[in-house]
């Protein structure tokens, strides 16, 4: 356990979304350019009109909407068994009612009661912290102690994302060039391979959660978990953490999953977990992944602008929404997604896979039922 830093000084709302304002400006510029081009070359207007009419007709003919999930890596959800398909369908219906512009982790953190003598025993856990900003920003927003867990040497197992690609074990190590650049540009220092607290009330626990989480809880007998932020990415680590923490969840515990809309990862792990114990819960927010806040924490303004421009350029050139017409995922999105989802997904230069929920009933985890 590494204990560093003092109580956070700045409790300002840390949720910065300048990147997405820049992205919307770029979209607006593209739209205005297209409108002007149509004005000067009316043939373009006819072409655009035909494309829109074709899209509308195709959407009318495409009745199989249940196959779509708002994560463009996602596979066809009909591959799954009925119970899981039903869970996904219910999840989508409910999270659509709680879309937010920002990041569910910071949104939840800002809404937690501030530190009092009554809640000082509650645990705020950040699982998977990389260079530590998710933990520090949670401490800023809550004004409370936050515990961050990471190997700091990367993923402990391969992360198979849907049927798309594998992120290898060891990725996200702090020795990676990308981590080194963010460490330098966001002013983070390391001590024994662990990021510094930088004046916040955060404590980093180094090691695999398979080894660290249970002893950490054992040292704090009976302490309830108030905030559980899952950003370990893989199905196995997620399910293991849920199982290890299960007796510390209470009614009112807030669980935030950074990669919830990966159907073979955190979503699947939570589906199995809640099903096993008959947990009751309600979704609260659906929005941006917190990892992108690393760019918002770059210390110099011009460098930050460079990071934002790079993110916008990657998002544009990546073309998932625009020119991957050979991909089935592309058609599931444009033909199958509700219009509200299309607007929500297009409105950010990043992925919106993060979801938060509140436990409202403990099912068989209720100690009075055990
Ligand atoms: C996506 S990164 C976390 C990003 C971070 N929350 C942020 O906002 O910048 C995932 C992190 O989880 C860590 N990790 C994955 N599985 C782990 C495990 N079982 N135990 C400890 N750390 C793990 C990796 O080392 C990696 O740093």
pLDDT 10s digit of each residue in the chain, 370 long? 333 333 333 434 567 889 999 999 999 999 999 999 999 999 999 999 999 999 999 999 887 666 788 887 788 888 899 999 999 999 999 999 999 999 999 999 999 999 998 998 999 999 999 999 999 999 999 999 999 999 999 999 999 999 888 999 999 999 999 999 999 999 999 999 999 999 999 999 999 999 999 999 999 999 999 999 999 999 999 999 999 999 999 999 999 999 999 999 999 999 999 999 999 999 999 999 999 999 999 999 999 999 999 999 999 998 888 888 888 888 888 998 889 999 999 999 989 999 999 999 999 999 887 6
Ligand 1: distance of its center to the CA of 161 in Å? Answer: 15
Q: Which of 140, 152, 277 is nearest to 200 (CA)?
A: 140
Q: 2-369, superfamily in CATH?
A: Vaccinia Virus protein VP39 (3.40.50.150)
Q: Are 296 and 309 in contact (CB under 8 A)?
A: no
In the chain, where the domains are located: 2-369
Ligand 1: distance of its center to the CA of 205 in Å? Answer: 12
Q: Are 202 and 146 in contact (CB under 8 A)?
A: yes
Q: Which of 15, 206, 181, 46 is nearest to 127 (CA)?
A: 206
pTM: 0.93
Angstrom CA distances, 339 to 25, 47, 342, stand at: 20, 22, 5
Q: Which ligand 1 atom sits nearest the alpha carbon of residue 209? A: 20
Residue 191 CB contacts under 8 Å (≥ 6 apart), including other chains: 2, 4
Ligand 1: distance of its center to the CA of 336 in Å? Answer: 33
Cα separation of 199 and 212, whole Å?
24
Residues with CB under 6 A from ligand 1: 128-130, 133-134, 149-151, 154-156, 172, 208-210, 231-233, 237, 290-291, 294
CB-CB neighbours of 234 under 10 Å: 24
Enumerate the β-bridge partners of residue 283: 357
Q: Which ligand 1 atom sits nearest the alpha carbon of residue 134? A: 8
Q: Which ligand 1 atom sits nearest the alpha carbon of residue 157? A: 16
CB-CB neighbours of 282 under 10 Å: 11
Ligand 1: distance of its center to the CA of 39 in Å? Answer: 50
Q: Which of 233, 229, 217, 205 is nearest to 149 (CA)?
A: 205
Ligand 1: distance of its center to the CA of 232 in Å? Answer: 4
- In a mutational test of the pocket of ligand 1, which residue from 151, 174, 176, 296 has the highest number of ligand atoms less than 8 Å from its CB? 151
Atom 1, ligand 1: residue with shortest CA distance: 231
Q: Which of 261, 283, 163 is nearest to 269 (CA)?
A: 261
Ligand 1: distance of its center to the CA of 238 in Å? Answer: 11
Rounded (10°) angle between helices 328-336 and 339-346: 120
CB-neighbour burial class of residue 27 (10 A; exposed 0-12, middle 13-18, buried 19+): middle
């Amino acid at each position: 356990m590494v204990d560093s830093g003092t109580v956070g000084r700045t409790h300002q709302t840390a949720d910065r979304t300048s990147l997405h304002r820049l992205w919307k400006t770029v979209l607006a510029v593209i739209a205005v350019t297209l409108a002007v081009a149509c004005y000067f070359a009316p043939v373009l207007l006819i072409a655009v009109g035909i494309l829109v009419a074709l899209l509308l007709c195709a959407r009318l003919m495409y009745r199989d909407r249940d196959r779509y999930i708002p994560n463009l890596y996602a596979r066809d959800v009909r591959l799954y068994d009925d119970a899981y398909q039903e869970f996904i369908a219910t999840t989508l219906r409910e999270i659509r009612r709680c879309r937010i512009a920002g990041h569910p982790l910071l949104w939840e953190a800002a809404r937690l009661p501030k530190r009092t003598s009554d809640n000082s025993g509650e645990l705020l856990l950040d699982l998977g912290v990389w260079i530590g900003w998710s933990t520090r920003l949670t401490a800023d927003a809550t004004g409370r102690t936050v515990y961050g867990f990471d190997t700091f040497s990367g993923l402990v197992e391969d992360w198979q994302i849907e049927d798309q690609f594998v992120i290898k074990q060891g990725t996200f190590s702090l020795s990676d060039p990308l981590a080194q650049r963010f460490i330098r540009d966001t002013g983070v220092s390391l001590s024994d391979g662990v990021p510094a607290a930088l004046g916040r009330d955060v404590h980093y626990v180094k090691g695999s959660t398979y080894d660290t989480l249970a002893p950490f809880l054992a040292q704090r007998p009976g302490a309830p978990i108030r905030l559980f932020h899952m950003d370990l990415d893989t199905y196995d680590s997620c399910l293991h953490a849920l199982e290890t923490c299960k007796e510390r969840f209470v009614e009112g515990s807030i669980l935030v999953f950074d990669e919830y809309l990966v159907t073979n990862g955190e979503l699947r792990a939570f589906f199995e977990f809640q099903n096993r114990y008959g947990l009751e819960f309600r979704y609260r927010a659906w929005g941006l992944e917190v990892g992108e806040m690393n760019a918002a924490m770059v210390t110099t303004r011009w460098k930050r602008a460079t990071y934002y421009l790079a993110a916008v350029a990657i998002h544009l050139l990546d073309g998932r929404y625009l020119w991957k017409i050979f991909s089935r995922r592309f058609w599931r999105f444009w033909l199958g997604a509700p219009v509200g989802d299309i607007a929500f997904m297009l409105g950010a230069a990043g992925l919106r896979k993060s979801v938060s929920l509140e436990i409202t009933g403990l099912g068989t985890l209720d100690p009075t039922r055990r």
